[in-house]
Amino acid sequence: MHLRRRLLLASMLVGAAASAAPAFAEEAASAGAEVSELVVTARRENRTSKGATGLDLSLVETPQAVTVIDRDFMDVFGLDDANSVLMLTPGVNVEEVETDRTYYNARGFDIRSMQVDGVGLPFTRNVAGDVDVAGYEKVEAVHGANGLLTGTGNPSGTINYVRKRPTNAFRGGAELTAGSWDRIRGEVDVSGPFSPSGRWAGRLVVAAEDRDSWLDLNSSARTFVYGVVEGQIGDNAIVTAGYTQQDSSAEGVLWGALPLLYTDGTQAEWDESATTSMDWTEWDIRTRTSFVELVYALPAGWEAKGTLTYNDFKEPSRLFYVYGNPDPETGLGLFGNPGRYDQANNSTLFDGVLSGPLEIAGKRHEIVLGVTSAKSQSGYLQYAVPFTDPAWGALPPFGTWSGDEIAEPTWEPPVQAANFTNRFNRVYGAAHLDFGRGVKAVVGFNAIDVKTRGDSFGASMRRDEEAVSPYVGATWTFTPNLTLYGSYSDIFEPQAELDETLQPLGAAKGESWEGGLKGEWLDGRLYTSVALFKAEQDNYPELAGMTPGGISVYRGIATRSKGIEIEAVGRLPGGFKVQGGFTTLEIEGDDGADVRTYVPRQTLVLGVTWDVPAVEGLQLGGVVKWQDDIHLDTALGVIRQDSYALLNLVASYRLTEAVKATVRVNNVTDEKRLTSLYWEQAFYGAPRNVSVSLSYTF
């Protein structure tokens, strides 16, 4: 770990705390403990989400399965990045294919929609780097097709990150964590009103982290800053403006991963620390997001809301890809492929929504109408390497590499390898209708128009697609505790993948059904759900190979997915809190054969915390993630990963009213496992590791 990084981390956190606390504290002292005048628009009822439909529905009223990972769960188990959160989200699978590239899937299909506060562009195929979650209050996973929210009906689901917002009263906190592999992390979170009137308030969140890794050569550092200001304009308007930036730097990174089969077709076994990286590789990511939100209260309970978001993303990298299969005796048979790229992407998105109630036949109904318009620009610069460079070609025997076997190549001047523009426009609407006797319905439509212009690595990205998709759902609360629900959604998902003629594959189309039973128990403290789902999708992309120029090409296949999801979350008597779920599913092609066999067919997540009654301030907890066996068929042989369970334990003790100490042990049983079989290469997940945290609230 670099001393410079540690000094930067410390100075950022101390500076943030020192500058923010006095300004807020002075105002808060005169404002009192609570400022009733400030209306915080992000404050919502417990377990409430607009995720599935854009309507203000409780989880029970939403005719889809919705999982909420709240800030308390993230803090207890030390979930500091998106991957760690989603790994413990029931029904979601995290495919860590490289150290800095991740895919997510649910219900058998890739998740391609990531949103913040319900706003975002679809088509996200993978996530680069570690996305810090210090600035988010909770993470919502909407399961199944949800075209009303995202504009496309992907049958997997949508991940929605809900930002932290300013609070009515001054409050803050800081935490310092140290752990295995020289990991050190600090966070500061300060929030409160600017004046006694409470009409304006702000919040600042700063986090920084530096760590080495269980993988040889690998280390990373990241900083995260989020600031938001919210205030009232007149009597009817609330404006919110915010800015987020994250800078990540990783060294000794994997591009591709370990070879998993020997030349004779038998499966290879490596040390958990094994890597095919070189010591000169790096992968940096810089993300900047600015947003402005205006909410205006109209007569008769109606509301108009507009959100403008600008994202700027830069990703320079110097990489080394290793391919081939080693001989089991000599270790020979691997080849190198160097790569250097400067990726840049920026997007501007506007979302406008008009919502409110209608009284018809003595019943109150809710209506939402909206428009979205977005444009994104993407470009890649590529630095070529002469084929005479030693970085190309056969590599030394694998198994004892130290990272200096191949020197960094001589890069040629960059050339524009890709430059394309996406335009996305949609009009949508939904209604929540109350028919009485506990019966309610959600109906809606989504009309989208997608255009892409430009090229990528020699292939045209041109596409023009449009569609109108319906959505219908219903709920029936037939007892005070139980609600039956069902929903149907059309699937229409434009895709950027290229077919074997290097033309866009076209949209995936199909249908999605879901039905189930939801319940609330113990005066609303415990929520349970059982969901049965089925999706049929045509033209879903399956990797067909690569062109001589290294472009991945796909074929469209028919895919069918069906299964059951069971979930429970809430507080139980005796100081217990539980959150977990079980998923079982089938994924088949049009011939009835299993497809996407790297996706586990059964998964279980169960987290429990216990506030020990006999010892005030002591909390114990544990969370287990289990998945059944997976495999990947290749031309050379079959790669297998047996079923496994990961167990994380935590114990915390409140030393004073403001100070708490926490010890966490992850992967208690030291389970060795591959992180994914998405590709024919993979690396091993983290072995047993320990961290200690000290937190202070004020």
User: Which of 411, 404, 394 shows the shortest CA–CA distance to 252?
Assistant: 404
> In DSSP terms, which residues pair with 380 in a beta bridge?
343, 418
- Given the DSSP bridges, would you call strands 618-627 and 630-633 parallel, antiparallel or unpaired? unpaired
Helix H or strand E encompassing 22: helix 3-31
Q: What amino acid occupies position 229?
A: V
User: Which of 696, 616, 613, 624 shows the shortest CA–CA distance to 665?
Assistant: 624
The pLDDT value recorded for residue 566 is 99
User: What is the per-residue pLDDT across 327-337, written as a single tens digit (0 to 9) for each?
Assistant: 999 999 999 99
In this structure, are residues 90 and 66 in contact, taking their beta carbons and an 8 Å threshold?
no
User: What is the per-residue pLDDT across 75-110, written as a single tens digit (0 to 9) for each?
Assistant: 999 999 999 999 999 999 999 999 999 999 999 999
In this structure, are residues 537 and 558 in contact, taking their beta carbons and an 8 Å threshold?
yes
* pLDDT greater than 90 at residue 25: no
User: What is the per-residue pLDDT across 115-133, written as a single tens digit (0 to 9) for each?
Assistant: 999 888 766 667 888 899 9
Q: What is the pTM of this model?
A: 0.92
Q: DSSP letter at 150?
A: H
459 pLDDT band, cuts 50/70/90, is: confident
> For the ranges 174-178, 245-249, 429-433, 506-510, which has the lowest average pLDDT?
506-510
Torsion of CA 231, 298, 310, 109, to 10 degrees: 120
The pLDDT value recorded for residue 29 is 33
CA atoms within 13 A on the CB side of 556: 19
Count of residues in the chain:
698
* pLDDT greater than 50 at residue 192: yes
* pLDDT greater than 80 at residue 690: yes
The pLDDT value recorded for residue 492 is 87
Q: What's the gap between Cα 503 and its chain centre?
A: 29
* pLDDT greater than 50 at residue 46: no
Rg, C-alpha atoms of the chain = 25
Q: What amino acid occupies position 58?
A: S
Sheet strands (E) in 457-480: 459-460, 463-477
CA distance 247 to 131: 10
| Residue-range domains of the chain with CATH | 3-686+693-697 (2.40.170.20)
* pLDDT greater than 50 at residue 626: yes
User: Which of 623, 597, 601, 599 shows the shortest CA–CA distance to 610?
Assistant: 623
44 pLDDT band, cuts 50/70/90, is: very low
Mean pLDDT of 448-460: 90
The pLDDT value recorded for residue 128 is 81
> For the ranges 210-224, 321-335, 500-514, which has the lowest average pLDDT?
500-514
Average pLDDT score over the chain: 90
CA distance 483 to 479: 7
